[in-house]
Amino acid sequence: MTPQEDPTAARPGTAAGARVTSRDVARAAGVSQAAVSLVLGDKWHGRVSRPKAESVRAAARDLGYRPNLAARSLRLGRTRTALLVVPALTTEFFARVYTGAARVAAENGFGVVLYPSPEGVGPARDPFDSARASLDGVIASSMASDALAAMRGEGLPLVLLDSDPDDSGATATVNLDLADGVRRLVAHLLALGHRRITHLAADIDSWTFRVRARALAEALHGVPDARVRTEPAALSVEAGLRAAHASLTRPGPRPTALLCDDDLLAAGACKAARRLGLRVPEDVSVTGVDDLALATALEPELTTLRLPAEDVGAAGMRALMTALDGGTPAPVTLPAELVVRGSTAPPR
């Protein structure tokens, strides 16, 4: 089949209205139009030699060729639009997930529609009422399973971020190795000498927070003198302040470390300690998760787990691209890095 010409790409150095077509690229590279189509569609492996592929890319670059995405979409039956569903836009983590996804999407000529849950966390309302026919696939980040019910029946590729890898309805999953990260965080506190630890746990029923709680319990199992208490809290600074205040003022031995599910909770914990006349880290150590900009705005700066949010979004979009090209994307697990700063120290 003859490749579609591109009526929108201008040939450099020509009068207005002149266009660079795939025929121009083929002529400059000394190959057929079919070869140009294969190379620019990244389907040349095993069908076009590497030197010819390089010649095609060089010719397209020199001529300023841009593919006609509208014509290509018609041929493939695609809109070249992906939906990214996130729980909230109130923290920079999900903004960075979007940044990574949008970067890879742009590299592949795709657009990204961002859909945050109106409730902030948990299930999102059905975003498909007016958009079902205009999407090629869905990427959903940190969603409760029932939030995805409307998406599963649409036959669209569904890539889940920070979600249960055993979910049978997912085309692919991209996760963070939070279990390993929490184990590293607990090992850091134990090495400092902490044995009385309060877990400021996000009060959200989702896979990612269940993983963190389970990893904490496993890391402390077999440490005979370790004592851990759980204090649930919504994901906000104020909720972290209230939960930390309750933990630090409860009768009995005071915890020497507050392990928080999120940097926002950790910021609230630091405020609670200060209001009680306690010093961080001399009287109580505090840790977080995410490594938001907030982590280095606190004084002392926060010990936390650095989560590569942009890499998560980018990997999710690559997985979707692979699925749309007919491939089977492999599950991806990205590391969570322990970043030790001034908010942790040996207990007094």
pLDDT confidence bin for 16, thresholds 50/70/90: very low
C-alpha pair distances (Å), 311 with each of 93, 101, 160, 318: 11, 8, 14, 10
Per cent of the chain over pLDDT 90 is: 53
Instruction: Say which DSSP state 153 is in.
Output: T
- Please give the pLDDT value at position 119: 55
Please give the angle made by the CA atoms of 314, 97 and 88, to the nearest 5 degrees. Answer: 150
Position with higher pLDDT, 115 vs 178: 178
Position with higher pLDDT, 217 vs 20: 217
pLDDT confidence bin for 5, thresholds 50/70/90: very low
- Please give the pLDDT value at position 259: 98
- Please give the pLDDT value at position 154: 59
Stated as kind and residue range, the H or E segment containing 109 is: none
- Winning range, highest mean pLDDT, from 7-11, 37-41, 134-138: 134-138
Tell me the per-residue pLDDT of 21-66, one tens digit each, with 9 for 90 and over. Answer: 878 888 999 998 888 878 877 677 778 888 888 898 898 888 887 6
**pTM for the whole thing?**
0.74
CB-based contact 35:52 (threshold 8 Å)? yes
What is the set of domains in the chain, with CATH numbers?
A: 22-74 (1.10.260), 76-175+309-333 (3.40.50.2300), 178-308 (3.40.50.2300)
Position with higher pLDDT, 257 vs 5: 257
pLDDT confidence bin for 71, thresholds 50/70/90: very low
User: β-strands 303-306, 337-339: how paired?
Assistant: antiparallel
CB-based contact 288:263 (threshold 8 Å)? yes
